[in-house]
Every structure is written in C-alpha cells, then in structure tokens.
Chains A and B, each alone.
Chain A
Amino acid sequence: MKSRLKILRAERDWSQAQLAEALGVSRQTINAIETGKYDPSLPLAFKMAKLFKCSIEDVFTPDDGET
C-alpha cells in the first residue's frame, strides 16, 4: 500500500513526533508507515484521514497489482 502521509504531514509542517502524538502512536510507527514497511489498521487509517480532514483514499492508495 502506498501512503501520502509524508506529503500531507509536510504540507502542514508537522514533524513525525507531532503527528505521532496527535494520533496516539509512536514516532517509529509513523516512520514505518511513511516508508511503506507497515500498513496501519483500519481504525488508525480512519484517525489519520480525520486528522487530515480527507478520505482514507486520499492518504492511502493500493500498490500496482492490488485491487
């Protein structure tokens, strides 16, 4: 799964630590999501979308080949 988290975060000039605090997760988790090493759970994805005031599809898109 591809993530636009880094771009959305950069647009708001937030650090990983700030975003992590707002979402109630660790900075390592944010880093792993941004680098594509970890796919978040649905509740966390919804939380992210709500925080960025957009839909989940605006934050995450499937990889090529995924439906």
Chain B
Amino acid sequence: MKTEEVRSLGSEEIRTIIMTAITGGAFGLLYGYGFEFSLWLGVLIGALFGAAIGFRITKKPPRMEYPMATFLLLTSFGYSYLLDQDLSQAQQYWAAALPLIGWTVLVISIGWAIASLDEMQRRIQTEAIAIGFAGTAIFVGGYALFQFAGLGDVNVGLVLLVMSGFWLAGKLWTLWRYR
C-alpha cells in the first residue's frame, strides 16, 4: 500500500503564509484604528486571518483572490481619502457607500469559493458559519444585557470582527473534528 502523502510546507509556501499574515496584520491595524478599538487585537486577528488565507492559497492556487483583494482594499481605504475632500453631503454619502462595491465582490468571491468545495468541505463551512452565527448572537445578546447595566455602546465594526473570529474558531474546530 502506498504511504499517504503528508506534504510538509515548503519555504515558498511558508513565505506566502508570512506575507499574507503581515498583510492581514496591517489590515487589522487599519481596521482597529478606523473603528477605534484595540490596535493589538486588530493586528492579532488580522494576522491570523491573513495566515489562514495564505495557507488556503498554498493549497489551492488563487484565481480571483488577488484582483479581488486589491479592489477591496482600494474601495475600503480609498473612500476615507474622498471623505476628507470638500464634498457635498450627498457626495459624502456616495463616497461612504463606495466600500460596499468591494464587499459585494468579496461576497461573490465567497460564493464562487463555496461552489468549488466538495461535500465534506461544504459541511465544514456550514458548521463554521453556524458557530460564527451562534457566537455572534451570544456576543450581541450578552452585550445588550451589559448595556442595561451601564456599559457603553459598541462599534458595529467590532461585531463584524467578533463574527469573523467565531467563524475562524468554528472552522478550526470542524477541521479538527474531520481531520
């Protein structure tokens, strides 16, 4: 019987993971700065996401990922420049909505990625999304209870980050289960 190929990561692949982790960390730093919460938390979670994406890229060569990521970054951070210009209120609303184009592309890209998965990978994703959804619901509901006790408002950007964190934890958990 043939030995199962347990391929270790090569130096090129490790470099890719480090680069995407750094990019993710930088993205997380900007995110933490923009939404005014812990920069360290932003860097940490961004780097983890970056590393996860890098790992994915090493396993399956990207198709639309790079142009999509560039477009996403441009539309996410390009709008802050536009908002600093002397624009009318209506124009500011349009500028503020600009990142939504990037996010829409991201959603379409996720749809394509899910369509390319096999049945077990889809199950893993479904369970990870369910864990992400449940975790976010508990976080939001729990935070609301704390707000009754006098805790301040939470930035919606943090909710997105929490949801992403729970999804990542869910994915790691289900990957471990079906390892």
B1 touches A10 (CB 8 A): yes
B2 touches A37 (CB 8 A): no
| CA distance in complex: A29, B4 (Å) | 14
| CA distance in complex: A44, B178 (Å) | 17
| CA distance in complex: A17, B2 (Å) | 11
B3-18 near A? 1/0 per residue, CB < 8 Å: 0110000000000000
A14-40 near B? 1/0 per residue, CB < 8 Å: 111100000011101101100001101
Stretch at the interface among B31-39, B97-105, B117-125: B117-125
Residue count of chain B within 8 Å CB distance of chain A: 12
* Nearest CB of A to B61, in Å: 15
User: Is B63 part of the contact surface with A, judged by Cβ < 8 Å?
Assistant: no
A-side contacts of B120, CB under 8 Å: 25-26, 28-29, 32, 38, 40
| CA distance in complex: A6, B177 (Å) | 20
Which residue in A9, A13, A44 is a CB contact (below 8 Å) of B119?
A: A44
Closest residue on chain B to residue A26 by CB atoms: B118
A22-63 near B? 1/0 per residue, CB < 8 Å: 001110110110000110110010000000000000000000
B119 touches A15 (CB 8 A): no
| CA distance in complex: A16, B119 (Å) | 17
Residue count of chain A within 8 Å CB distance of chain B: 19
Within 88-122 of B, Cβ neighbours of A (below 8 Å) are at 118-121
A-side contacts of B179, CB under 8 Å: 28, 31-32, 37
| CA distance in complex: A44, B67 (Å) | 34
Which residue in A15, A40, A44 is a CB contact (below 8 Å) of B2?
A: A15
* Nearest CB of B to A30, in Å: 9
Which residue in B2, B118, B121 is a CB contact (below 8 Å) of A13?
A: B2
B34-64 near A? 1/0 per residue, CB < 8 Å: 0000000000000000000000000000000
**A–B complex contacts, Cβ < 8 Å, 7 sampled:** A15-B5, A25-B118, A26-B118, A26-B120, A29-B118, A29-B120, A41-B119
B residues at A contact (CB < 8 Å): 1-2, 4-5, 118-121, 123, 177-179
Per CB-CB distance, the 10 closest pairs between chain A and chain B, nearest first, are A10-B1, A25-B118, A29-B120, A32-B178, A15-B2, A38-B120, A37-B178, A41-B119, A26-B118, A29-B118
